[in-house]
Structures are given as structure tokens and as C-alpha cells.
Chain A
């Protein structure tokens, strides 16, 4: 009965490759997010979707392309991976765009070699 799930949990790849991370929530929430946690553990919003519509794009390079096929799924595709993309990527969801609690997935640890 996992609330927010992400696959894969670990991703090791070479520079220049393209990779995707998938996220699914079974909480019935209508808003989903991608956050990036860097090597210093700092967490920063990347994208937010509400009912499949992009509402936040926080100055992320356009090599990153989110896609929401339905409101329970939010995937992240990364083209031409760079060393600096190495980080932990968290998916989260909430019921609404107000002050509701966001619940996080387990994270995907991406290492670009």
C-alpha cells in the first residue's frame, strides 16, 4: 500500500545518456512535484503538475522534461545527462496547491559517470 512510489531506486549511467524516472501515487492527490536533493542535501523544487497541467517550472534546464499521463503519474525524462545531474530526485504529491501536506516518494539516486 505504498503511497508514493518511484522507479528505479538507483540509476547509474554514463554522461550523455538519456534516462527516465517514474513516479506513481495512490493517494488520489491532484498535485505532484519533482524535487532535487543535491550532494549537500539541499532540496529544491523542479516542477509541479496539477491535474496533468504544468504549473511550476523552476528554471530547470530544458534537458529535463516532465510528463504527466494522468494525475496519478508524473515521470521525469532527462536528456544528455551531465555530471552535475548526479543527485537524489524525489517525487511528491499533495491534495491541492495550498497548504496541504506533501508526501514524498522514496527517492531515486542518480549517479552520472
Chain B
């Protein structure tokens, strides 16, 4: 079975600073994908970034980057130059191939608050 753990219930960051949101995962499947989603207070789920288990380089998407450490089974999200609009709940999630048929397993989420 797959498991995602986000140990930070809440994080605070000053505007324009960088912040790291932690995510650790557990799976015995060698082929998997790690995803980060943002859920603002309006409720929608917004896809941010993806990292495949066989990708050699860390994924980046604009101000978002994923610090992928395979041996430690961690996939931390780094947001650079935080903006007030980054205040939201952030979910780490994982998909594996095989009999899971692609379902996403989510972590508990981290609430990020950006202070002006």
C-alpha cells in the first residue's frame, strides 16, 4: 500500500521569502509519480508540479520546484519568492502503476500562510 506523510499542519512565511513544504512517501512500487496540488480557500484543486520516480532531475515549474530525494523517500515542495496569493492548503500525492489503476493517494495537507 502507498502512504504519503505531510508532517507540517501549518507553515508561515514572509512575503518574498522561500518556503519548503515537506512530504515523505512510502511505496514498494519502483514506478511512481509524485504530485503537488494547491487548494486555495475557494476550494478548487490546482495541479502544481509532477516528479516521476525515474526522473534524473528535480522538477521545476516557475516559482515551484520539487526537491526529490529518492533514497530518503522525500518530495518536498519549494516555493520561491512567496506571494500573498500562495496562501492555501498544499497537498502532496502519489500515483503508482499496476493494480492501483492510477488512483492518487494524498497526504494530510499543509496550510501555508504568507504574511505581508
Partners in one complex: yes
B50: interface (CB < 8 Å): yes
| Residue interface mask A12-28, B partner, CB < 8 A = 1 | 00000000000000000
How far apart are the CA atoms of A94 and B39 in the complex, in Å?
A: 19
Q: Is the CB of B35 within 8 A of A101?
A: yes
With an 8 Å Cβ cutoff, the count of chain B residues facing the other chain is: 27
CB-contact partner of B106 in A44, A58, A103, A106, under 8 A: A44
Q: Is the CB of A42 within 8 A of B106?
A: yes
Interface of B, secondary structure class, is strand
CB-contact partner of A58 in B35, B95, B103, under 8 A: B103
A97 to chain B, nearest CB (A): 4
CB-contact partner of A41 in B31, B46, B102, B109, under 8 A: B109
Q: Is the CB of B102 within 8 A of A94?
A: yes
Most chain B beta-carbon contacts within 10 A, residue among A44, A48, A92, A101: A101
B12: interface (CB < 8 Å): no
A86: interface (CB < 8 Å): no
How far apart are the CA atoms of A45 and B100 in the complex, in Å?
A: 11
Within 8 A of B (CB), among A78-113: 88, 90, 92, 94, 96-107, 109
Contact surface of B with A, Cβ cutoff 8 Å: 31-33, 35, 37, 39, 43-47, 50, 52, 89, 91, 93, 95-97, 101-106, 108-109
Sort A-B residue pairs by CB-CB distance and give the 5 closest, nearest first.
Answer: A99-B33, A104-B45, A97-B102, A43-B106, A45-B103
Contact surface of A with B, Cβ cutoff 8 Å: 31, 33, 35, 40-45, 48, 50, 55-56, 58, 88, 90, 92, 94, 96-107, 109
